[in-house]
Amino acid sequence: MSQVAARQSAGVEQTIARIQQWKKTRCAVIIAHNYQPDEIQAVADYTGDSLELARLAAKTEAEVIVFAGVVFMAESAKLLSPQKTVLLPVKEAGCPLADTITAEDLRQARQQHPQAAVVIYVNSPAEVKALADVCCTSANAVEVVNSLPQAEVIFAPDKNLAHWVARHTQKRIIPWPGSCCTHNNITAKDVAAAKQAHPEAKFMAHPECRPEVCGQADAVLSTSQMLRRAKAEKATEFIVGTEIGMLYRLRKENPEKTFYPLSSRMVCRSMKMTSLADLADALEYIKYPVEVPEPIRMGAFQALEAMLKIN
């Protein structure tokens, strides 16, 4: 090992020791989204999708929850655990998809479609969730929409997930024009190239991908569903059509199988903002506490609770 590499590795060890020490002092847990950098997932107490993690945060005895993820995820944890301190280590880590909708936009859409129910994907700001009839995840979106009495549904903010839902329901879906740039930038050409490179591999796509990408998938799955499918399938090779952070856990939990990213461009910049030093600083200096005003928290909590009653 070169001297530079040895110094870097000693620096990483020191930062991890600082994280462990402050985690104990603060009686904290670290939870990391499936899209976080490998080294962050490696030091986390729990990894998962945004809702799994918010539920875990609510169940833990810990008083401080460090959420390695993006703003809407830390907010969701706070919605379910208002009495706990929820920290987002990088306060600028926003979600470009969540930013495609505001509460005012949604109020106007409701006025235009007064008969329609409003289903809001969890990748959205708390004040938007607060105006929804019910929330959904990518794993349960179809089930949530089909459970509603209304024949029309405003589905926001992801247009590709809305399209996926529309294919699996009799209801009229009114899609919001938002999308996740990490998923939406991928085209049928990328799929063709990945399939040509790995002809034996099963292709799992996330429903935030474009319809022509999902249309070529062996299965369209949320991140938690991908983890379950990769374990259960006899196949030993998979092309993974979602953010590349997902490969860390897939590989760790299935060492005998091989996972290929659909494209090396599937990198969410916001998800990659968190560093080990940010985690250590978050714990030592209590950075950055997430606050959701109580009337908004109550409204958003009700929309989440309505979803949890469905599944």
**Which residues of this protein are in contact with ligand CIZ, per CB under 6 A?**
33, 49-50, 122-123, 137-138, 206, 222-224
Taking the complex as a whole, the smallest distance from the CB of residue 300 to ligand CIZ amounts, in Å, to 15
311, 72 contact by CB (below 8 A): no
Nearer to ligand CIZ by Cβ, of 28 and 226: the residue is 226
77: CB partners within 8 A, 6+ apart: 31, 53, 54, 57, 58, 65, 67, 84, 86, 290
Strand partners, 117: 153
Between 53 and 280, name the residue whose CB sits nearer to ligand CIZ: 53
Q: Considering beta carbons, is residue 52 or 133 the nearer one to ligand CIZ?
A: 52
Smallest gap from Cβ 216 to ligand CIZ, in A, equals 19
Q: Which residue's CB atom is positioned nearest to ligand CIZ?
A: 49
Shortest distance, CB of residue 112 to ligand CIZ, whole angstroms? 27
Which residue is associated with the tokens 């405003």?
154
> Between β-strands 237-241 and 219-220, what pairing exists: parallel, antiparallel or unpaired?
unpaired
Helix (H) or strand (E) holding 68: strand 64-68
> Which run of H or E residues covers position 51?
helix 50-59
Give min distance, CB of 52 to ligand CIZ, in A: 8
Nearer to ligand CIZ, 116 or 271 (CB): 271
Q: Which is nearer to ligand CIZ, 122 or 239 (CB)?
A: 122
* Shortest distance (Å) from residue 15 CB to ligand CIZ: 26
Q: Phi first, then psi: give them for residue 309, nearest 5 degrees.
A: -70, -30
